[in-house]
Structure 1
Amino acid sequence: MAITIVVDALDECGGDNDVKAIISLLAQAKTLTSIRLRVFITSRPELPIRLGFNAVQGKYQDMALHQIPELVVERDISTFVRHELANIRDQHNSLPPNRKLPLDWPGENVIHTLTQMAIPLFIFAATACRFIGDEGRSNPDKRLKHVLKYQTETHDSRLDKLDATYLPVLSQLTFGRNDRDQAEFLTEFRDVVGPIVLLAQPLSTRSLAELLNIANDDIEDQLMSLHSVLDIPSQIDAPVRLFHLSFREFLVDPTKRTTKDFWIDETKYHKTLADRCIQLLRQHLRRDICGLQLPGKLRSEVDQRTIDAALPPEVQYACQYWVHHLKESKGSKRDGGPVYSFLRDGDPVHSFLTSHLLNWLEALSLLGRVSESVGMVDDLVALSPADAIEISGFFHDIRRFVQSSRSIIDMAPLQVYASALVFSPAGSITRGLFKQEERRWITTGPVVEDDWNACTQTLEGHSSSVNSVAFSPDSKLVASGSDDKTVKIWDAATGTCTQTLEGHSGSHHTSNLITSWSGDEEHLPHQNYGIGSDGRWIVRGSENWLWLPPGCRPGCSAGAASTIAIGCTSGRVLIMMLPADM
């Protein structure tokens, strides 16, 4: 059996490491023997893409489109334009009472001109044909002549390709309007289309209306004339998508700020989206939003329909991406000078988290996205200036809170109000803020430390003793080998298990990512970093630094920079961060 996997626009995948990991995993398909598998990938030649393919072991075929002879490109675009315009002519002529187009419309000269305007961008030809054939506009011949008006500018390079692609579509929207009407229309256009092109993932018009707090009819009115550049489904709950990422690039190009009526201030609308996400979450989130009632109810036991009913698409989007939009809104140039948006004590973000942090983490758990909160909190820390002492300390505490209880919050959403709080240190800022959320049936809580200790994470997943641990060369991953004959690879920042390798012998395992050491202390790599363990103490250099209680004593350990990973006989892996200046 032969199967072909098609991956389109791999460069649009978020995260350089994710891109390289995808290429590496797909390359491993050559080892399959039960099926014949081919993978077809399209992408811009961005650096992570090139690096990912450079690391592939074995043969693969590649083709750079910009290296294809222009005659081949011209032939393909000409064939497409001829076919599309013939279909437009036939469809127009089949609809009375339209004035019929000649059977040879639009003629060889026009097809040649459109082809030359398009080379080498197929998206130009596709957009032009969608615009010419738009049934909601005037007759196709009039729209064709409007597109052809841009041939001189394109040929003389006074107008770049993206302008020539999209201005014929957009300029029609303001034609015949007076200055006041045009200004009002452009504001409404930006308020709707700006967020659409900046969304991290597409939303339906219904969800957009809820997220942006704009009437659904107003959104649909704006989109009515944009079928040439946006994929607008007839179903109200289906997502609105860009036909091509170049439309976004055309609208937000900072060099066109003063010359393009339709220019969109990327920073402004990221801020708009961040603000609206936070407002929507404040209105919607609450404790036990899915009505689970039982604090130990597992996420795996909750029906997806229940989750979707409690957390509609726009709320799910806000949970996952409000920090992304806040981060993207941090810098811009206005009035000729840089403006940066930083978080401050008592601002809306601070206020939201002091009242809805646990509700947000519960929602992320229901969505299976708790691990991502660590990276989001790191972004918030980076957005906090040094003098915002209160909010900065709160964010650091949130990070420790999530890291220490991530595994149980991920499994049982309501444990964010129970175990996560009860076992946090007495001096935890998060525990203090949400003391009232602790379960009332816990009459006497456990004895806990006053503050967070050096253990930043406990990773659980092995069913037997961990006998080897190792860091990847960049210290971003931790590998642990166990007597359960598996090697697990963990994200050192989030604690997520990214891969489980089965069939490990327990003595030695090598891959292009990690090498796992086993057993005796002489193989432990701590001497490379000056940090390690002698079995009872964590040591740095020749000095004892932290005594380990019996339950945390290692069967093995590994160090990287100021971090140590300890493999325990219980099957746990502890990750501890030590002061860098110790």
Structure 2
Amino acid sequence: MKASKNRGNSDDTFDSSEDGSGSSASEARAARRYRRRVRISKIHDEFARVAASGLGKGLKGVLDKFRTEMEEGHRSIQVELRRMRAEQIALQAEVRHLTTEVERLMGRVNDLILEQVVGGQRERLSRGIINYVYNKVAIVLESKSKIIREKYELDGDWPGDQNTILLVRNACGLLIWAETACRFIDGGGRLLVEERLSQVLKEGTPMARSSVSEAEMRLAELYTTVLESSVTGKYNGREEKIYAMSKEVLGSIVILFSPLPADSLANLLHASKRDFEQTLEGLHAILNIPPPKQDRPIRVHHDSFRDFLLTK
């Protein structure tokens, strides 16, 4: 305490000296620093006194207890959140189960209503649905044929009523068959339009109405025609190499989880850009191939082509 008092007296001395001189800025700054050290020393002494009296230990105990309670509360909240998450998952599973059951029951109810109300008109209703589907295919074929006809300046009635009827029958009600066939015919250019139209028309024997298996067969025949035409007679004896490249390209596109752009796919297969682009030339009917300057992935036009390759 004497030291503190002495420091206080010294403080007064510095103040008097500072007031007396009034001209020394450095002495004034030194005096302020000294007074600041004295105040800090007093604060330290006060903390030491509180700690020695036991009040500090009590405060530490209160803080430790508060911290422990906070940690326990946090753990309780985490446990409750996990429980709620588990209940949410269980409820979602139950909702899915109930949704499936409701859909099954609604399907059964619709069947019973159809049996009770429609009765003997079922066959006529089925024919109406089939006619509707075939009409949709005919509309698609007519629209695509008009585009090809104007693009290559073909005769005004191309491909002709009889050929249009054959195309509709060969499609077996599948819009994807009609769209793929038109892309294939268009992809050959003006010189191959008639040849490719003949190839598509020669696929199998036309049927008035087809089953699901027959429709799948027609689609498989069309895919086979596209693949064979993408190589045959175009590469002066390099068919085997192009066939091998086609298998690698198509296999990669089909099995890759994330589709890749052309450049990335060529690098993956260690293929030159020229060979890769030649391989893709004849596959536009079945692959969605972006223009070279667009860095977008190559995809199949329809998942049925993936199924076709994977079942071969």
- Residue 206 of structure 1: CA displacement? 1.4
Tell me if 1:54 matches 2:100. yes
- Residue 69 of structure 1: CA displacement? 1.8
Is the 8 Å Cα contact of residues 205 and 236 (structure 1) preserved in structure 2?
A: no
User: Aligned partners of 2:249, 2:189: CA distance in 1, in Å?
Assistant: 20
Aligned residue identity for 1:134: G
- Residue 250 of structure 1: CA displacement? 1.6
User: Aligned partners of 1:85, 1:128: CA distance in 2, in Å?
Assistant: 10
User: Aligned partners of 1:137, 1:225: CA distance in 2, in Å?
Assistant: 15
Is the 8 Å Cα contact of residues 78 and 115 (structure 1) preserved in structure 2?
A: yes
Mapping of residues 56-455 of structure 1, within 5 Å: 69-93=129-153, 101-134=154-187, 136=189, 138-152=191-205, 160-176=217-233, 181-234=238-291, 235-253=293-311, 256=312
What secondary structure, in the 3-state scheme, does the structure 1 residue paired with 2:257 have?
Answer: coil
User: Aligned partners of 1:60, 1:204: CA distance in 2, in Å?
Assistant: 44
Mapping of residues 510-529 of structure 1, within 5 Å: none
Is the 8 Å Cα contact of residues 206 and 216 (structure 1) preserved in structure 2?
A: yes
Alpha-carbon distance change, 141 to 162 in structure 1, aligned in 2, over 3 angstroms: same
- Greater RCO between the two (CA within 8 Å, min separation 6)? 2
- Residue 108 of structure 1: CA displacement? 1.2
- Residue 60 of structure 1: CA displacement? 9.6
User: Aligned partners of 1:178, 1:223: CA distance in 2, in Å?
Assistant: 13
Is the 8 Å Cα contact of residues 136 and 225 (structure 1) preserved in structure 2?
A: no
Aligned residue identity for 1:70: I
Alpha-carbon distance change, 167 to 116 in structure 1, aligned in 2, over 3 angstroms: same
User: Aligned partners of 1:124, 1:233: CA distance in 2, in Å?
Assistant: 21
TM-score, normalisation: structure 1: 0.30
Give the number of the structure whose residues are more often helix, by fraction: 2
Alpha-carbon distance change, 108 to 181 in structure 1, aligned in 2, over 3 angstroms: same
User: Aligned partners of 1:217, 1:121: CA distance in 2, in Å?
Assistant: 35
- Residue 151 of structure 1: CA displacement? 3.5
What secondary structure, in the 3-state scheme, does the structure 1 residue paired with 2:285 have?
Answer: coil
- Residue 55 of structure 1: CA displacement? 5.5
User: Aligned partners of 2:146, 2:157: CA distance in 1, in Å?
Assistant: 9
User: Aligned partners of 1:248, 1:228: CA distance in 2, in Å?
Assistant: 14
Q: CA offsets, 1:133-164, max 9 Å, x none?
A: 12657342222111111142888959912322
- Residue 82 of structure 1: CA displacement? 1.0
Give the number of the structure whose residues are more often strand, by fraction: 1
User: Aligned partners of 1:82, 1:135: CA distance in 2, in Å?
Assistant: 19
User: Aligned partners of 2:144, 2:138: CA distance in 1, in Å?
Assistant: 10
Is the 8 Å Cα contact of residues 287 and 300 (structure 2) preserved in structure 1?
A: yes
User: Aligned partners of 1:187, 1:194: CA distance in 2, in Å?
Assistant: 11
Mapping of residues 558-577 of structure 1, within 5 Å: none
User: Aligned partners of 2:261, 2:236: CA distance in 1, in Å?
Assistant: 32
User: Aligned partners of 1:169, 1:158: CA distance in 2, in Å?
Assistant: 17
User: Aligned partners of 2:232, 2:263: CA distance in 1, in Å?
Assistant: 29
What secondary structure, in the 3-state scheme, does the structure 1 residue paired with 2:227 have?
Answer: helix
- Residue 248 of structure 1: CA displacement? 1.6
The count of residues paired between Structure 1 and Structure 2 equals: 197
Alpha-carbon distance change, 208 to 194 in structure 1, aligned in 2, over 3 angstroms: same
Aligned residue identity for 1:87: I
User: Aligned partners of 1:158, 1:207: CA distance in 2, in Å?
Assistant: 35
- Residue 214 of structure 1: CA displacement? 2.2
Alpha-carbon distance change, 229 to 215 in structure 1, aligned in 2, over 3 angstroms: same
What secondary structure, in the 3-state scheme, does the structure 2 residue paired with 1:69 have?
Answer: helix
Unmatched segments (≥5 aa) in structure 1: 1-20, 29-47, 94-100, 257-582
Q: Between the two proteins, what is the percent identity of the paired residues?
A: 32
Is the 8 Å Cα contact of residues 167 and 201 (structure 2) preserved in structure 1?
A: yes
User: Aligned partners of 1:135, 1:52: CA distance in 2, in Å?
Assistant: 52
- Residue 238 of structure 1: CA displacement? 0.9
- Residue 165 of structure 1: CA displacement? 2.3
Aligned residue identity for 1:91: K
Is the 8 Å Cα contact of residues 170 and 207 (structure 2) preserved in structure 1?
A: yes
Unmatched segments (≥5 aa) in structure 2: 1-88, 111-125
User: Aligned partners of 1:92, 1:131: CA distance in 2, in Å?
Assistant: 14
Alpha-carbon distance change, 179 to 76 in structure 1, aligned in 2, over 3 angstroms: same
User: Aligned partners of 2:200, 2:253: CA distance in 1, in Å?
Assistant: 25
- Residue 211 of structure 1: CA displacement? 2.3
- Residue 52 of structure 1: CA displacement? 8.5
- Residue 179 of structure 1: CA displacement? 11
User: Aligned partners of 1:52, 1:136: CA distance in 2, in Å?
Assistant: 54
Aligned residue identity for 1:170: L
Is the 8 Å Cα contact of residues 233 and 239 (structure 1) preserved in structure 2?
A: yes
